[in-house]
Structure 1
């Protein structure tokens, strides 16, 4: 496996560089007639590309083109974006949010980094307790989960549900049905967790059939759903969702090549274009411990073409056939998860999880 080394960057020097060279953000509505140009220049740091793309995705902006360069100590991005109607971004509130979230203080302000209404997965925050559920999908499963929670006097304020390859993953934000406050009673939570596990397992004794856990830490909910599926190894499944949801002309075409001159592996993705496509791909590469050094993103009608120049965090490229195949499978799964089925459920504060949605 080829390995490329780059200069060591002292953390204290990086912090000093950030102070003397704060991020520069430009929102340009003049240069192009049909899109808004967003430019971000910043000192480079691990995960910065995902942070930027996450912010733009939370705003439901469509990235029609992008040029990424983060080799060395500096990070430079250019994004061509529109709204879902293909219009420029002219709302002053949205522009102000972009400038603040991507600007000098944005990366250190968690309250700014999440667009209002977009929740993140944590065990208990404010008036909600978050619980993660992953298991084998089947008809009526959400109705059964609903019945258990209603019987235990839990209210579901919001739920985000994805299905892929006959598996289901969801993050539920719960509170007490009578107080509308987060539930911290360990006995009550333990009873709920055990009953949900029993539903997920059904008649099977295999613990891997379904799992329930409480969300910990501060993770973007879409990224957490990707992580749950990745840990569940859904990319190894041979489900029929690919054939059902993708006509032959729209199936993702992913290739891995080696750029010997620069020491990169080149990931090329061609598939049907959609919102948050770049986020799903960058999120997956980041969680697989790959670093994106350069990228070019473009869309032509219903198709998207994306190219990423990457290395593993240890500096290695993807030289083995097994590793290349795994990356291709994981990216295919990441693209298909959101396309197959995404359900976001918000319920009134005093009502139980609705069974009519199943």
Structure 2
């Protein structure tokens, strides 16, 4: 007898969203130094990450945020500026934010817009990178990026973009490549794709798979987080890495409300909120309330969470796992040493040539952002020496010679984070309690005001 199943109308799942679509307000009047982006919407798992991804893709900085999603409804306020600390006053950008936060719910497309850093961001679901997306994972080591780039150059694969991360001795990389002669995705030729994957896997000592093309930078970065977790980079790391840990994470039980409270203190930086929310979402935790605030160089985040089954964290092992994963998510993007920004005319083999010079001069690439736009290469390399020695002028001259006299090379020292909190460096108990009470009180006062403030939001 054939088994039958009840019928579920696929339109029913989005019924509440269609009846009550998200409402978005861009407020430039309330705060003197920032723009408030206010959103309320029917709640669903992952909606907070969606909102953060939209703002992050626009190169906006989030200095504060207040979140509440009890009772099936999501309400959030983001305090944002551009990378120069200015309010969001560009009408095209304001319209884009209003439209794209509702675009997936049927309010229409938002086209594309230029960010404060000059990047073109599109609201369309199609990926911005053309070519075949390759996902690489394996052990990290000195010169690995150079070896990857050399293999791709030897196989006549042009790199249109690459995100390369290392952490705790592991590596994850997403690279978009196309045929050097035709510009077509190499996946169109299965035999060639198999050859590329085989040679890269041999160099990596790890894996090379053909991944999905992502539709935005933050989606690529979320995938890198997932790949690093699969590599278990949150485990171990040795005394040197632990001693440099900038994040302090704790998990406590909020008995009367039935939440687990995740508290995070770390050095503030761009995309900090994205990295933390990625970790919580991918671990299948639901954020019911949250308060995020930064002051000077420090950031404090508090999340009131439960598992997707509605229960708080119930074991010490689970708490320790959450703490390790959040610490790793924050530290993956922390770099030391120098940042080398290279802007030049793109040419075949350019990436291989640059990374070869870095390797020959004993520089370890801990992170890299590689992109091409309009025939130009826009590359950023975060480099340091294994012996932590300073990078001398001779090395920089070798890099300049390789990229050519018409290229632009900017050298920036990555600011070192503050020393990690220790048992002797922590604030006295009364000061710690006061700081926590201040953030919590501020959070709940904002939550109480949210219902009234959202009444005037226009769709």
Does the TM-score normalized on the shorter chain lie above 0.5?
Answer: yes
Say if 1:241 and 1:340, in contact at 8 Å, map to a contact too. no
**Residue 318 (str. 1) matches residue 313 (str. 2):** yes
1:61 Cα offset (Å):
1.2
Maintained 8 Å contact 1:158/1:345? no
Match of 1:211 among 195, 198, 207: 207
Q: How far apart are the structure 2 equivalents of 1:93 and 1:111?
A: 10
Contact 1:68 / 1:293 at 8 angstroms: preserved in 2? Answer: yes
Instruction: Tell me which structure has the larger Cα radius of gyration.
Output: 2
Deviation at 1:322, TM superposition (A): 0.3
- Corresponding residue for residue 32 of structure 1: 31
Structure 1 residues 170-218: Cα deviation after superposition (integer angstroms, max 9, x where no partner): 10000000011211111111111111111112xxxxxxxx111111375
Identify the residue that residue 278 of structure 2 maps to in structure 1: 283
CA RMSD of aligned residues (A): 2.9
Q: Contact 2:165 / 2:171 at 8 angstroms: preserved in 1?
A: yes
Instruction: Identify unmatched segments of 5+ residues in structure 1.
Output: 1-9, 202-209
Alignment correspondent of 2:44: 45
C-alpha separation in 1, matches of 2:295 and 2:60: 17
Structure 1 residue 127, shift from structure 2 partner: 3.6
Q: Corresponding residue for 1:221?
A: 220
1:40/1:46 CA distance change after superposition, 3 Å: same
CA contact (8 A) 1:68 1:296 kept: yes
Residue number in structure 2 paired with 1:356: 354
Q: Which residue of the partner structure matches residue 67 of structure 1?
A: 66
Corresponding residue for residue 384 of structure 2: none
Q: How many residues align?
A: 334
Q: Summarize the alignment of residues 160-179 of structure 1 with structure 2, pairs less than 5 Å apart.
A: 160-179=163-182
**Is residue 2:151 matched to residue 1:148?**
yes
Q: What is the rounded CA distance, in whole Å, between the counterparts of 2:286 and 2:275 in structure 1?
A: 15
- Quick one: higher RCO (CA 8 Å, sep 6+), 1 or 2? 1
| Structure 1 SS opposite 2:249 | strand
Structure 2 distance, partners of 1:182, 1:350, is 18
Contact 2:66 2:77 in 1 (8 A): yes
Matched, 1:190 2:194: yes
Structure 2 unaligned spans of 5+: 1-8, 359-459
Match of 1:255, SS? strand
Question: Which has the higher mean CA deviation after the structures are superposed, 346-355 or 105-114?
Answer: 105-114
Determine the C-alpha separation between the residues in 1 that align with 2:225 and 2:112: 19
CA distance in 1, matches of 2:134, 2:230: 16
Q: How far does residue 20 in structure 1 lie from its aligned partner after superposition?
A: 2.1
Deviation for aligned residue 1:30: 0.7
Question: Which residue is 2:248 aligned to?
Answer: 253
Decide whether the 8 Å contact of 1:281 with 1:331 is kept in 2.
yes
2:264 to 246, 254, 269: 269
Distance in 2 of aligned mates of 1:161 and 1:110: 31
Query: Structure 1 residues 97 and 125, CA, compared in 2 at 3 Å: closer, same or farther?
Result: closer
Alpha-carbon separation, structure 2, partners of 1:113 and 1:319: 45
